[in-house]
Amino acid sequence: MNLIIKKNIHLENSETKNFLADAYYNETDEKRPLIIFVHGYKGYKDWGAWGLMAEKFAEAGFFFVKFNFSHNGTTLEDPDNFADLEAFGNNNYSKELSDLGVVIDHFIQNPNVDPEKIILIGHSRGGGISIIKTFEDERINGLITLASVDTLDRFPKGDYFENWKKEGVYYALNGRTKQEMPHYYQFYEDYDQNIHRFDVERATEMVKAHMFIIHGTKDEAVDVKHAEHLHILNPNSEMLLIENANHTFGAKEPWTETELPKDLNTVIEMCIKFINDKMK
């Protein structure tokens, strides 16, 4: 079958700003389940092995989409680097949920997509965003979290918070690029003004979609306890813990191999099985 890859599709969001998405699918007359991958903090659509992941899902019979949040720090001209730190600093959860809504609205209209089968796969912070969106949008009937957080309250505490409020900005070092990434205080203000909407725990309890929680036992960024907590909150969910897997399931940036890392390959295979089992 002929694999079609459409890169850097321009999407418009009047509430935020324009951003890019990629679509991967096999050429066929059949309508395919739509999978949308939601990247996390300091993430972007072309990070590491996400491209190989997209190909594997497409080859398994899905219409797979990955995208850059409008304020993740990348630009339309440079989607692989944090070239717009001002946008990064002005990101917030409202903007990310708005962008995700635009992605769903756009691709659900594609003639190759089955609008009755929409699945979100959220990594890390993108997992928390995906949980909230799944609760809010009844069109979504599959939810998979990869190394997801169980709360979006991941802000500085104590004196660090007071200093952030006073200064209006705090910086986080990107260990890979060595960039000082700004976070403006509006990020917290947006969270505080929408604190009930951004309650991941409540959304997890309430989601009606089929839910699959996947986490590595050696996750260095988001402790495996987050996955266990999500599973307790939603007893109907399924959970898979990958022994000794890290936060990105063996992937890194850049990923120069032609094969997927072993742990990420296992994750994808289990996701494919889960979706096929639940979406028949």
Whether the upstream peptide bond of residue 254 has omega within 30° of 0, thus cis, is: yes
At residue 1, the pLDDT reads 73
Contact 85, 179 (CB under 8 A): yes
At residue 209, the pLDDT reads 98
Q: Is residue 165 part of a domain?
A: no
Q: What is the pTM of this model?
A: 0.99
At residue 29, the pLDDT reads 85
Q: Is residue 180 part of a domain?
A: no
Mean pLDDT by runs of 10 across the 280 residues of the chain is 94 98 94 98 98 98 98 98 98 98 98 97 98 98 98 98 98 97 98 98 98 98 98 98 98 98 98 94
At residue 211, the pLDDT reads 98
CATH code for the domain in which residue 248 is found: 3.40.50.1820
At residue 279, the pLDDT reads 86
The letter for the amino acid at 188 is Y
What's the structural domain count of the chain?
1
| Domain interval for residue 245 | 3-155+195-278
Q: Is residue 161 part of a domain?
A: no
At residue 208, the pLDDT reads 97
At residue 17, the pLDDT reads 98
